[in-house]
Structure 1
Amino acid sequence: MEEKSMKFDPLPEGCIALILSRTTPIDTCNLSLVSTEFYSASKSDVSFQLDKKSGKKCYMLGARALSIAWGDTHCYWEWTNMPDSRFFEVAKLKIVCWLEIRGVLNTNALSPNTHYVAYFVFKMINSYGFNICLVELSIDIFGDQISNKNVCLNLNAEEEPDYDFEEEEIMDLRERMQGLQLPNVRSDGWLEIEIENFFNSGLEDKEVLMSVMEIKIGHSKKGLIIEGIEVRPKDAN
């Protein structure tokens, strides 16, 4: 009897990406080795899935889909693979003074009549400089800024400053960092911090601009690893 093989090429890449999003990073790698369609989808810069609870769309822009200042300058950023990432590449910060990360998503990619929350998803490995700087998170929808706030990306914000400061300067730094929003640990081991929530009526197709920036203090920073920016329904797990 002639064996019949399953053909995946008629499926749109978004559908294959959805299948891969339900697997582990290791499974994704294995599937990519045996299927050109899975390989192509695994290298996609975005990830799409449905929230199990509500059935509404969740969307994630991978690091390659973001605009990262000097992101292609090797002395500042490195593009590498991590086995626990859903994306083929993540961005690893070598060192910068000017941190500027932006992501753009059209509202027609999301479910209508839904409150969404945008999250910056990242890790810190041998980081430096993030316990003394306020990182600014903001969301603009069609040119109208609906949120702007300062946060601390260092989960251990009470660590001693990385730089040599006078005692008075250290006290001032700690006062500025006190009470700032800190990241949470996700079930997949990455960190996430809420950028802001917004409502998608679905009546108009608008651009949502999400920004992660530190351009005011000007101190050196390193050790940030960017997976991407995830947008999911407000009541999603």
Structure 2
Amino acid sequence: MREANTVADGLAKAGVMIPTTGFSEVAELVGITMIGFEGNIETKILSPKTTYVAYLVFKFAECRYEFRGHGWMETEMGEFYNEKEEDGVVNCCVWEIDNWFSKHSLIVEGIEFRPKQSS
């Protein structure tokens, strides 16, 4: 079971269909000031003795001068080591706590859990 939640104090257009995504639905966040993302994954569907990294995958609905890319971007939320195939849940979250500036046109695809690549 995988699940992701978006918490925002503004409006969210949930269920915006974008055909190039790996998720069936994405959320476009409109006119928000504070935001947080939380994701959970059951450890029994992950490979044992493997380090995983959680990524928040997003893009902007319109061009942003601060960001060069126009497609999907990702930011690392954190990593964890999955020791055994047991029934358990890993929770990861990221919360904005001190920026009250309005944000808009943010499309959130979701949180991806991927094995960490060796350097």
TM surpasses 0.5: yes
Distance change >3 Å, CA 220–CA 99, structure 1 → 2: same
Within the alignment, does 1:95 sit opposite 2:31 as a pair?
A: yes
- Structure with bigger strand share is 2
Residue deviations 1:100-133 (CA, integer Å, cap 9, x gap): 11111121221101111111111112378xx9xx
Q: Secondary structure at the match of 1:205?
A: coil
What is the CA–CA distance in structure 1 between the aligned matches of 2:62 and 2:31, rounded to whole Å?
A: 12
Take 2:63 and 2:106, find their aligned partners in 1: how far apart are those partners? 6
SS in 2 for 1:108: helix
Give distance in 2, aligned partners of 1:209 and 1:78.
24
Give TM-score, length-normalised by structure 1. 0.43
User: Following TM superposition, by how much is the alpha carbon of 1:227 offset from its aligned partner in structure 2, in angstroms?
Assistant: 0.7
- Kindly tell me the number of residue pairs found equivalent between the two proteins: 116
Q: TM-score of the superposition, structure 2-length normalised?
A: 0.80
Structure 1: state its 5+ residue gaps. 1-45, 47-60, 132-153, 157-184
CA deviations 1:198-223 (Å, max 9, x no partner) are 11101643321111221312121112
**Contact 2:23–2:110 (Cα < 8 Å) also in 1:** no
Q: What is the RMSD computed on CA atoms of the aligned residues?
A: 2.7
- What does 1:75-224 correspond to in 2, within 5 Å? 76-79=11-14, 80-126=16-62, 155=67, 189-202=71-84, 204-224=86-106
Greater RCO, CA 8 A, separation 6+:
2
Cα distance in 2 between the residues matched to 1:155 and 1:208 = 31
1:66, 1:103 within 8 Å by CA — same for their partners in 2? yes
Q: Which amino acid aligns with 2:47?
A: S
- 1:66 and 2:1 are equivalent in the alignment: no
Structure 2 unaligned blocks of 5 or more: none
State the identity as a percent.
36
Distance (Å, rounded) in 2 between the aligned partners of 1:95 and 1:106: 33
Letter in 2 for 1:86: G
Counterpart of 1:226 in structure 2: which amino acid? V
Partner SS state of residue 44, structure 2? helix
